[in-house]
Amino acid sequence: MKYFLQRIAFYLFTAWAAITLNFFIPRLVPGDPVQSLIAKFRGQLSTEAINSLYVLFGLDDDKGLWAQYIDYWKQLFQGDLGLSFTFFPSPVSQIISDALPWTVLLVGITTVISFLIGTSLGVLAGWRRGSWTDGLLPVTTFFSSVPYFWLGIIAIYLLTGPDSFFPSSGGFDSALIPAWDQYFIPSALQHSLLPALTILISSVSGWILSMRNMMVTVSSEDYITVAHAKGLSERRVAVSYAARNALLPNISGFALSLGFIVGGTLLVEIVFSYPGLGFILLQALGAKDYPLMQGIFLVITISVLVANLVADLAYLLLDPRTRKDG
């Protein structure tokens, strides 16, 4: 329990650090970005919006930095992330909450599947060394060196087309209205297949490799020899003794790598014009939509923190040494 509380404290601290960083980012923008934005949106911005922009960029001179910081937190607690320029006058929180489910479902599910498949293959490769699985390594190395988005582009080129089952872009058939019905869900699934496959292929090799290495390391532990000496079946030794122990560091690795993976998957969304956070981030970048960028960064960071917490919980359940005192 103590371990768990420590982790929670750490994540709260990290969340605070990320939010504070987020507060300072717009203050780094050189010049007077608000003036240029007002010029860009000639007459479209209300006085209120302009004021909130000044607050955002820290350009309202009447207040000190500390007061600005307090205001920022107040806004945050009201779920107010400002207004987006790109999708003016929609609030940032609205846009993000529309896009977030797409990303969470695509990236979340795919990452978990990739971890499961990669870990299983890694167990095989580490246990049966010298068999065909060793030939898998050069292939996986190559695929893990390819950027996710490039693989996505190639997948679109090779697998999509007028007659193909795979749609080349979007999250669902544009003729449909998002709803939980028998038309929309299959369409959404169909659209998510290729991006999911792209993420899967690029990320799975990392898990194979790290699990293989952990299996090899664990295989020479004394308790594995004991398990063999006990006359246990090959399967029991491999799964319950070797893999079970090798999994622990891999789960920690999983938690720590989430930040890296999310970065890669955002790009896959861009390539497939998938209506998630990555695609929106691209639009925000094009329009210099700082409130939206900030909001996306914040939401991604918080999601990664939550995913880390879940991975920590899994670790807690799997390793008795952290569960009880001692």
Beta-bridged to residue 83, according to DSSP, are 91
User: Measured from the CB of residue 103, what is the shortest distance to another protein in angstroms?
Assistant: 12
Using CB atoms within 10 A of its CB, is residue 207 exposed (0-12), middle (13-18) or buried (19+)?
buried
Total number of residues that touch another protein (CB under 8 A)? 103
Tell me the H-state helices in the chain: 2-24, 33-40, 47-57, 65-77, 92-103, 109-127, 136-145, 148-159, 184-219, 222-229, 234-236, 244-271, 277-286, 290-318, 320-323
Minimum CB distance to another protein smaller for 49 or for 204: 204
Q: Is 166 helix (H, G, I), strand (E, B) or coil?
A: strand
Residue 132 CB, nearest approach to another protein (Å): 12
Residue 184: CB minimum distance to another protein, A: 27
- Contacting range for another protein; rule: CB under 8 A; set: 41-49, 88-96, 189-197, 246-254: 246-254
Nearer to another protein, 188 or 269 (CB): 269
**Residues sharing a CB contact under 8 Å with residue 273, sequence separation 6 or more, in sequence order:** 169, 170, 279
Instruction: Establish if 103 lies at the interface with another protein (CB under 8 A).
Output: no
CB closer to another protein, 71 vs 221: 221
Window of 70-78, 102-110, 177-185, 295-303 that interacts with another protein by CB under 8 A: 295-303
CA distance 302 to 290: 18
Question: Shortest distance, CB of residue 210 to another protein, whole angstroms?
Answer: 5
Write out the two tokens for 179. 């709803």
C-alpha of 265 from chain center: 7
**Rounded Cα gap, residues 194 and 271, in angstroms:** 11
Q: Which stretch binds another protein (CB under 8 A): 71-79, 84-92, 171-179, 256-264?
A: 256-264
In angstroms, how far is the first alpha carbon of the chain from the final one? 12
Q: Check binding of 261 to another protein (CB under 8 A).
A: yes
For another protein, the closer of residues 30 and 64 by Cβ is 30
SS3 category, 289: coil
**Residues within window 10-49 making contact with another protein, judged by CB under 8 A:** 10-11, 13-14, 17-18, 21, 25-26, 28-30
Is 243 a binder of another protein (CB under 8 A)? no
210 contributes a contact to another protein by CB under 8 A: yes
Of residues 126-185, those binding another protein (CB under 8 A): 128-131, 134, 141-142, 144-150, 153-154, 156-157
Does position 107 interact with another protein (CB under 8 A)? The reply is no
Closest to another protein by CB, 53 or 267: 267
Task: Decide if residue 55 touches another protein (CB under 8 A).
Answer: no
Stretch of 42-50, 69-77, 78-86, 267-275 lying at the interface with another protein (CB under 8 A): 267-275
Residue 93: Cβ within 10 Å count: 18
Does residue number 52 form part of the binding site for another protein (CB under 8 A)? Answer: no
- Please name the residues in contact with 262: beta carbons below 8 A apart, sequence gap of 6 or more: 107, 300, 303, 304
Q: Is 296 in the site for another protein (CB under 8 A)?
A: yes
